[in-house]
Amino acid sequence: MSRPAADASRDTTGPVNRRRARRPSVPAGAMACAVVLTLIACASPAQTEPPAGAAPPPTASAQQPASLPAVGPSQPPSATPVIPAPFLAGSSKEFRGLLDAKQYAQAVTLAQQLLEAAEQQPGPGGEDLQVALMNLALAQYLDQDYVGAESSYLRVISLIEASGRMTTPRLARAQAGLATTYYAGKRYDLAAARYEQAIALARREQGLFTEEQIPFLEKYSNALSELNRFEDALRARRYILRTIERKYGAGSLRYAQELESTGRWFTRVGSYEAARSALRSAIGIIEDAEGENAAELIGPLTALGDCARRQLLDPATARAASADEQRQSMFRDAMAPVLPAVSPNTIAMEGQSSLERAVAIAASQAPPSPAQLADVRTLLGDWYQSRQRPEKALSNYALAWQAAGDATVGGKPVTQLLFDRPVLLAYVPPGSWNRHADRPANEVVLREARLEFTVTERGRVADPKVVLDAGDPTRGTQALRAAQSAIYRPRLEKGVPVDTPGVTLTQPFYVLAESEIGESTPAPDTPAAGTKPAQQPASSPAPEPPVAGSGG
């Protein structure tokens, strides 16, 4: 499907390009995009997105967000989870205090004690038992015990349905909490189905176009995107924009902020022209409202730079820039339409100038924010690093370190968040890794090859070795060749780039299930000859708990 140039001045519409990496199709229910539950503030920390052409990404042990987690350019930090009041209905003060302090394991213990007490009360599924289960599910979710949270949510859903109270708001909240649990556990097919059930239930209670729906809709859209249901995901994004327009107007800063979010989504799914259209519209709205030096411009400007960087790394961009076989042939149809395309040079000029302008705006604020300036400087360094201009990249990384000073975000030094480990910026996977991805799910299995190597002070791979070969040495060889294309942001110590040994990268392969029959050893666990399974380095980032959940 062709990639449209969407008119995003009011609504980023149009079909979405489907060049995203393929997965076996997963059936899911039809999307209902009219209403969404106003339940969960799903503002999870920003996740690193792979360069175009590398998704689903190889898993790199040293990977972290490309910019400050949960902050992003021009966005205020959020140090603690924000759990809307409806989730905590019936919760004790002690339980809420543990959640506020992020003492999730202790909250699970307390919730289990409260559940045991509720189970002693008469009645098969009373109010107190339902509230206790909802609180336990919330605590388990925040403690990243997704299996436990799933069990608790399913139990409370069963109790509510058995009571016949199908319109109770708690049932919708339980479905929403279960959906978010599945999403956090990367079970996107189950998440999308539960989101749809929550929508149907919420329609009776919430009405249409309320702003509280938006974080939930974004998660829903992301789950659909993971399932390659891009058209359905786009409908959810349009619904968000209509909600914002109804309340604030199409010329408001809030509308511009949502255009930026939509533009970033278009970039992630590879619809670059639509992304640029949305982001340019956001920039225009902000300039009209706040002027050409407004700090609010930093977000869409850096998003425009990210769009350009990803598009230039996308193998399809290189193919589009060169004449195809038909156009080279003397027998080509001279009357055949040729679609207009933006040249790589034009894309590069816009991306670089957008990031440079963002840096200038961040530096001109009175007073400048150290975290924000360090963040945009780092993104400009990433641009040059991806463009294989390491000297310019390292210069900007040094300036970012200097700008950060002693600033902290969420209690952690900005320098640590940005530079305490290498960050994967570009990678071209083996051409055959997803050859069978369009096959039915029961015909393919996912195997992995894992590498270990050193990321040099200039952000390149050195001394790679195979530590898992997915049951086939040729896959390890393919992963080794692909690893040479990887480009990293290097780790910095005291502002100076240094080598980082022990970095791991995992490359998936879709393999026909019939080819696995008869193997004596499961492929994912088969180490390469002469090696031991790699251990995650101590510096590998632990996943932060998603910021969402459900109470009573």
Specify the residue for token string 């040994």: 501
- Same structural domain for residues 282 and 305? yes
Residues of the chain falling short of pLDDT 50: 1-67, 69-82, 84-86, 325-326, 328-340, 518-552
What amino acid occupies position 31?
Answer: M
- Same structural domain for residues 239 and 357? yes
pLDDT at 88: 53
pLDDT digits (tens, 9 = 90+) for 131-141: 999 999 999 99
Contacts of 343 (CB under 8 A, 6+ apart): 321
- Same structural domain for residues 358 and 448? no
Q: What is the CATH number of the domain that holds 138?
A: 1.25.40.10
pLDDT at 13: 36
pLDDT digits (tens, 9 = 90+) for 264-311: 999 999 999 999 999 999 999 999 999 999 999 999 999 999 999 999
Q: What is the CATH number of the domain that holds 434?
A: 3.30.2420.10
3-state DSSP of 487-502: EEECEEECCEEECEEE
Number of domains observed in the structure of the chain: 4
pLDDT at 87: 52
End-to-end Cα distance, the chain: 45
pLDDT at 208: 81
Cα–Cα distance list, 108 to 71, 105, 404 (Å): 28, 5, 37
Q: What angle do CA 4, 238, 379 make, to 5 degrees?
A: 70
- Same structural domain for residues 267 and 197? no
- Are 441 and 513 in contact by the 8 Å Cβ rule? The answer is no
Structural domain includes residue 512: yes
Contacts of 214 (CB under 8 A, 6+ apart): 240, 243, 244, 258
Structural domain includes residue 190: yes
- Same structural domain for residues 360 and 250? yes
Structural domain includes residue 89: no
- Same structural domain for residues 159 and 247? no
- Same structural domain for residues 478 and 494? yes
Structural domain includes residue 103: no
pLDDT at 488: 97
pLDDT digits (tens, 9 = 90+) for 102-157: 899 999 999 999 999 988 887 666 788 999 999 999 999 999 999 999 999 999 99
DSSP code of 86?
Answer: G
pLDDT at 322: 60
- Same structural domain for residues 239 and 360? yes
- Are 295 and 74 in contact by the 8 Å Cβ rule? The answer is yes
Closest CA to 257 of 286, 233, 291, 220: 286
User: What is the span of the domain harbouring residue 442?
Assistant: 425-525
pLDDT at 8: 36
- Same structural domain for residues 238 and 354? yes
What gap in Å lies between CA 479 and CA 508, rounded to an integer? 9
- Same structural domain for residues 302 and 358? yes
What amino acid occupies position 125?
Answer: G
What gap in Å lies between CA 460 and CA 380, rounded to an integer? 18
Structural domain includes residue 312: yes
Half-sphere exposure at residue 49, Cβ-oriented, CA atoms within 13 angstroms: 22
